[in-house]
Amino acid sequence: GENVEQHPSTLSVQEGDSAVIKCTYSDSASNYFPWYKQELGKGPQLIIDIRSNVGEKKDQRIAVTLNKTAKHFSLHITETQPEDSAVYFCAANGLENKLVFGAGTILRVKS
């Protein structure tokens, strides 16, 4: 079945800097890759997703890139702000389209 690995597990950046989180997946049949943001005391919130027919997608300060050949995808956050501090999860659709999640990245933006 699908296996998703996520790195790094924690990431500290200075406010205004960029943050990059990377994920790899194992199932070449996967074609949907969402990213979720989870703030303290809340459930995961879908922030951006990409499908395998595109290589990059951007929404204001966040972007996701996908390399299907290498089976990895990344989340890029530019001009980070303190409110970006949260846990970020990547996922990929596995068998029967069930989402398989990475272990999460704790992002801390220092002001």
Partner 1 sequence: ETGVTQTPRHLVMGMTNKKSLKCEQHLGHNAMYWYKQSAKKPLELMFVYNFKEQTENNSVPSRFSPECPNSSHLFLHLHTLQPEDSALYLCASSQDGASSYEQYFGPGTRLTVT
By CB under 8 A, is residue 34 in contact with partner 1?
A: yes
The DSSP output letter for 92 is E
**Closest alpha carbon to 57 in 38, 84, 79, 75:** 75
Q: How far is the CB of 40 from partner 1 (least distance, A)?
A: 11
**Nearer residue to partner 1 within complex by CB, 32 or 67:** 32
Residue 59 CB contacts under 8 Å (≥ 6 apart), including other chains: 47, 48
Among 25, 36, 73, 88, contact with partner 1 (rule: CB under 8 A): 36
SS3 96: helix
Total residues in contact with partner 1, by rule CB under 8 A: 22
Which residue blocks in the chain are alpha helix, DSSP H? Answer: none
Which residues within the stretch 52-111 sit at the binding site for partner 1 (CB under 8 A)? 89, 93, 96-104
**In the complex, which residues of this chain contact partner 1 (CB under 8 A)?**
4, 32, 34, 36, 41-46, 49, 89, 93, 96-104
